[in-house]
Amino acid sequence: MAGRVEARLAELGLDLPPPFAPAATYEAYVIVGGLVFVSGQGPVWGTEIRHTGKVGRDLDLAAGREAARLTVLNLVVHLRTACEGDLDRVRRCVKLFGLVNCGPDFADAETVVDGACGLLADLFGEAGRPALSVTAAPGLPVGIAVELDAVFEIA
Protein backbone atom coordinates (compact mmCIF):
# COMPACT_ATOMS: atom_id res chain seq x y z
CA MET A 1 0.00 0.00 0.00
CA ALA A 2 1.35 3.40 -0.97
CA GLY A 3 2.06 5.93 1.75
CA ARG A 4 0.41 9.30 2.18
CA VAL A 5 2.98 11.23 0.09
CA GLU A 6 3.03 8.63 -2.70
CA ALA A 7 -0.78 8.77 -2.75
CA ARG A 8 -0.61 12.55 -3.01
CA LEU A 9 1.76 12.26 -5.99
CA ALA A 10 -0.77 9.95 -7.66
CA GLU A 11 -3.66 12.34 -6.88
CA LEU A 12 -1.71 15.14 -8.54
CA GLY A 13 -0.98 12.91 -11.55
CA LEU A 14 2.77 13.16 -10.97
CA ASP A 15 5.46 10.54 -11.48
CA LEU A 16 8.95 10.85 -10.07
CA PRO A 17 11.70 10.97 -12.67
CA PRO A 18 14.52 8.45 -12.73
CA PRO A 19 17.25 9.61 -10.33
CA PHE A 20 19.92 11.72 -11.99
CA ALA A 21 23.38 10.38 -11.13
CA PRO A 22 25.93 12.88 -9.82
CA ALA A 23 27.95 14.39 -12.65
CA ALA A 24 31.16 14.80 -10.63
CA THR A 25 32.76 13.75 -7.34
CA TYR A 26 29.87 14.30 -4.94
CA GLU A 27 26.91 12.40 -3.53
CA ALA A 28 23.29 12.88 -4.62
CA TYR A 29 22.42 13.19 -0.93
CA VAL A 30 24.10 12.95 2.46
CA ILE A 31 22.40 12.00 5.72
CA VAL A 32 23.68 13.60 8.93
CA GLY A 33 21.69 12.62 11.99
CA GLY A 34 18.06 13.18 11.09
CA LEU A 35 18.82 15.55 8.22
CA VAL A 36 19.03 14.74 4.52
CA PHE A 37 21.02 17.21 2.41
CA VAL A 38 20.05 16.75 -1.24
CA SER A 39 22.58 18.05 -3.77
CA GLY A 40 21.63 20.57 -6.40
CA GLN A 41 19.18 19.25 -8.97
CA GLY A 42 17.89 20.63 -12.24
CA PRO A 43 14.84 20.31 -14.49
CA VAL A 44 15.72 16.96 -16.00
CA TRP A 45 13.91 13.71 -16.69
CA GLY A 46 16.52 11.00 -16.45
CA THR A 47 19.25 12.34 -18.70
CA GLU A 48 16.96 14.62 -20.75
CA ILE A 49 17.24 18.30 -19.87
CA ARG A 50 13.70 19.67 -20.15
CA HIS A 51 14.16 23.40 -19.44
CA THR A 52 17.20 25.37 -20.57
CA GLY A 53 17.89 29.04 -21.04
CA LYS A 54 17.30 32.23 -19.15
CA VAL A 55 13.94 32.79 -17.50
CA GLY A 56 12.54 36.09 -18.71
CA ARG A 57 14.37 35.84 -22.02
CA ASP A 58 14.21 32.28 -23.36
CA LEU A 59 11.49 31.04 -21.01
CA ASP A 60 8.47 32.90 -19.67
CA LEU A 61 7.56 32.96 -15.99
CA ALA A 62 5.16 30.01 -16.30
CA ALA A 63 7.84 27.85 -17.94
CA GLY A 64 10.29 28.87 -15.22
CA ARG A 65 7.82 27.77 -12.56
CA GLU A 66 7.35 24.44 -14.39
CA ALA A 67 11.13 24.02 -14.42
CA ALA A 68 11.15 24.57 -10.66
CA ARG A 69 8.37 22.01 -10.15
CA LEU A 70 10.24 19.38 -12.18
CA THR A 71 13.39 20.18 -10.23
CA VAL A 72 11.54 19.53 -6.95
CA LEU A 73 10.54 16.10 -8.25
CA ASN A 74 14.24 15.40 -8.78
CA LEU A 75 14.93 16.42 -5.17
CA VAL A 76 12.10 14.16 -3.98
CA VAL A 77 13.32 11.10 -5.91
CA HIS A 78 16.68 11.30 -4.08
CA LEU A 79 14.88 11.99 -0.81
CA ARG A 80 12.81 8.84 -1.33
CA THR A 81 16.02 6.83 -1.75
CA ALA A 82 17.42 8.40 1.43
CA CYS A 83 14.19 7.40 3.23
CA GLU A 84 14.52 3.81 2.00
CA GLY A 85 11.44 4.24 -0.17
CA ASP A 86 9.17 5.72 2.53
CA LEU A 87 8.48 9.43 1.93
CA ASP A 88 6.17 9.41 4.95
CA ARG A 89 9.37 9.51 7.04
CA VAL A 90 9.80 13.17 6.02
CA ARG A 91 9.09 15.40 8.99
CA ARG A 92 9.89 18.72 7.34
CA CYS A 93 11.53 20.44 4.44
CA VAL A 94 13.88 22.58 6.49
CA LYS A 95 15.56 24.68 3.80
CA LEU A 96 15.27 25.18 0.06
CA PHE A 97 17.87 27.11 -1.90
CA GLY A 98 17.11 28.13 -5.45
CA LEU A 99 19.15 29.52 -8.32
CA VAL A 100 17.32 30.93 -11.32
CA ASN A 101 19.17 31.37 -14.61
CA CYS A 102 18.12 34.85 -15.70
CA GLY A 103 19.35 38.23 -16.85
CA PRO A 104 20.23 41.11 -14.52
CA ASP A 105 16.87 42.84 -15.02
CA PHE A 106 14.73 39.81 -14.12
CA ALA A 107 13.03 40.58 -10.80
CA ASP A 108 10.85 37.48 -10.33
CA ALA A 109 13.31 34.77 -9.28
CA GLU A 110 11.36 34.19 -6.06
CA THR A 111 8.15 33.70 -8.09
CA VAL A 112 9.90 31.04 -10.17
CA VAL A 113 11.09 29.14 -7.10
CA ASP A 114 7.66 29.53 -5.49
CA GLY A 115 6.54 26.95 -8.07
CA ALA A 116 8.80 24.53 -6.21
CA CYS A 117 7.59 25.63 -2.79
CA GLY A 118 3.99 25.18 -3.84
CA LEU A 119 4.61 21.61 -4.94
CA LEU A 120 6.45 20.78 -1.70
CA ALA A 121 3.46 22.10 0.26
CA ASP A 122 1.09 20.08 -1.96
CA LEU A 123 3.07 16.91 -1.23
CA PHE A 124 4.00 17.33 2.43
CA GLY A 125 1.43 19.82 3.76
CA GLU A 126 2.72 22.33 6.30
CA ALA A 127 5.89 20.23 6.63
CA GLY A 128 6.64 21.14 3.00
CA ARG A 129 6.93 24.87 3.71
CA PRO A 130 10.71 25.49 3.99
CA ALA A 131 12.88 28.38 4.92
CA LEU A 132 13.87 29.75 1.51
CA SER A 133 16.76 31.49 -0.19
CA VAL A 134 16.64 32.44 -3.86
CA THR A 135 19.12 34.18 -6.08
CA ALA A 136 19.39 35.10 -9.72
CA ALA A 137 22.29 33.48 -11.54
CA PRO A 138 23.91 34.66 -14.76
CA GLY A 139 24.24 31.02 -15.82
CA LEU A 140 23.86 27.49 -14.51
CA PRO A 141 25.47 24.15 -15.46
CA VAL A 142 24.60 22.97 -18.99
CA GLY A 143 22.29 25.97 -19.34
CA ILE A 144 19.53 24.68 -17.04
CA ALA A 145 16.88 27.23 -16.09
CA VAL A 146 16.68 26.38 -12.38
CA GLU A 147 18.80 24.60 -9.79
CA LEU A 148 17.57 23.69 -6.32
CA ASP A 149 19.08 22.02 -3.30
CA ALA A 150 17.33 21.22 -0.05
CA VAL A 151 17.62 19.99 3.50
CA PHE A 152 14.93 17.69 4.90
CA GLU A 153 14.37 16.34 8.39
CA ILE A 154 13.43 12.65 8.46
CA ALA A 155 12.33 10.19 11.12
For 96-141, the pLDDT digits (tens) are: 999 999 999 999 999 999 999 999 999 999 999 999 999 999 999 9
Residue-averaged pLDDT of the chain:
96
CATH superfamily of 34-154: RutC-like (3.30.1330.40)
Q: What is the pLDDT of residue 40?
A: 97
Q: What is the pLDDT of residue 23?
A: 84
Burial class of residue 32, CB neighbours in 10 A (0-12, 13-18, 19+): exposed
pLDDT confidence bin for 20, thresholds 50/70/90: confident
Q: Say if strands 131-137 and 90-101 run parallel, antiparallel, or are unpaired.
A: parallel
Q: What are the pLDDT digits (tens) for 67-76?
A: 999 999 999 9
pLDDT at 4 over 80: yes
pLDDT at 18 over 70: yes
pTM, 2 dp: 0.96
Residues 6 or more apart whose CB falls under 8 angstroms from that of 87 comprise 3, 5, 6, 76, 79, 80, 123
12, 132 contact by CB (below 8 A): no
Q: What is the pLDDT of residue 21?
A: 86
Q: What is the pLDDT of residue 1?
A: 47
pLDDT confidence bin for 15, thresholds 50/70/90: very high
Q: What percent of the chain has pLDDT over 90?
A: 96
pLDDT at 48 over 70: yes
